[in-house]
Structure 1
C-alpha cells in the first residue's frame, strides 16, 4: 500500500530545524557505487515567477529485492552561495518498488507559492531525498535553477549619437526587456559608475507591460579621467529585486 502526504506551505519559522534535517540526510549518504536506489529529477527550463514549476522525480530500485522507500521533494529559495533563504514547498510519498523497477512522482508548484518571495536575486533549489525503510539507506539529488528575469543592458552612446555634446559628460542607453508574461510595477533603475556622477539615479520607470521593452537615456558627469570605467545598473520592481548588469567603458 502506498500513501502520500502533501505538506506544501510557505513558512520560515521551521528553517533551522529543516536545515538540521537536511544536513542529517546529506551526512548519511552511502559511498558512491554501493547504493541500492537511484534518484533522477527531470530537467527544468525557463523557470519564471509567472508560471508553475512542473517536474518529476524517478526513483529506481537497483537492488535484488522489493524495497519500501520514503521519497521527499523539497523546494527552497537559495542565495548564490547556496544558503537556504526560505522554504517554498515540501512533498512526501511512500513508495513500494519491486526489484529493478522504478516509480515516478510528478509534482507541480503553483507560481503564487514563490512569486512574491524574491526580495533579492535568489535562485531556486530542488532537492529530492529518499530513505530505504528496512536499512535506513539515504540518498539525495539536487538541481539549482536560475529564474528567468527581465533582460537589463547598458550601452555607451558614441559622440556622434549624443543628445548633448560636452567634454565632461558621458551618455548611456539603458534597455529593460520584460520577457515575462506579467506586468512589472513600480519599476526603477539605479545606475552608478567609476568616476562618474549620475544625477538622475534612481530613474523611476512606472510599469512595464508583458513582453515590452523600456529604453531610456541617462547622462553622467565625469569626476576623474580614467582609461576604463565600470558602470553598474540595478533594476527593481514589485515583483523582482536586484536584477543587475554592468558595462566596462573605455
Structure 2
C-alpha cells in the first residue's frame, strides 16, 4: 500500500491531490493549519474510498511544527512513498509595502519547508530505492515578479538539482509549475482576478491528473496546459532584461 503526504491539503491543488490519490487507493497523511477542515476532508476520503487517512495539523512557518512533519516524512515504521509539497500562500502588497516578518513567514512556507521536507523524504526514500517528491512551484518561477516569483524559482531549480542528485536511485523529483488555476488561492489572497480571460485558467482536476501522469514518467519539470508550456518556453529563451520588463506589475502570484 502506497502512502502519500500532502501539505496544504485543505484547499486548491493540495485538496485535489488528496482526492485523486485517495481515489486510486493511496493512504494519506494530510497536513495543514486548519485541523477542523483536515478532519472533515479525512472523513470524506475514508468514507468514499476506504483508505487510511492521518491528520497532521501544522503551521509550516513555525520551525518546531515543520520539524514534526519532517519526522513523519522520515519515519521508517510508517514510510511515506509520495511527498507533495503544496502548502503556500501569498501577500497582496508589493515587497517593500509589506512587513518583513510577513515576508519571512511566506518565505519559510514556500522555500524552507520544501527544502526541509524534501531532505527528509529524499534520505528516507533513497534507502528504500523508491519514492516520489512533488514540489508545487509555478509558471511565475520563470519570471522576475517579486518575492513570490523568487520563492517559486527556488522551488523549481532546487527540484531540478535534487532530481539530478537522486538520478538512478529509484526516487523521482518533479517541480509542478502551473499557471492560473481555478481554486481558492486568489480569493484567499484577496487578489481580484476578474479581468483574467477564461482561456488562461486551468482546471484543477485536469492539472493534477496530468501532474500525476508526469510524476509516473519521472518528469522533472511539469508544466500543465499547452498555453503555459508555450509561455515557459518563451520565458526560458527570452533575454532576461525583456523578461524583467514583461514582469513589471506582475508582483502578485500567477498560479494555483
Question: Which is richer in helix?
Answer: 2
Instruction: Answer yes or no: same fold by TM over 0.5.
Output: no
Q: Which has the larger radius of gyration?
A: 1
Question: Which is richer in strand?
Answer: 1
Which TM-score applies when normalising by structure 1?
0.24
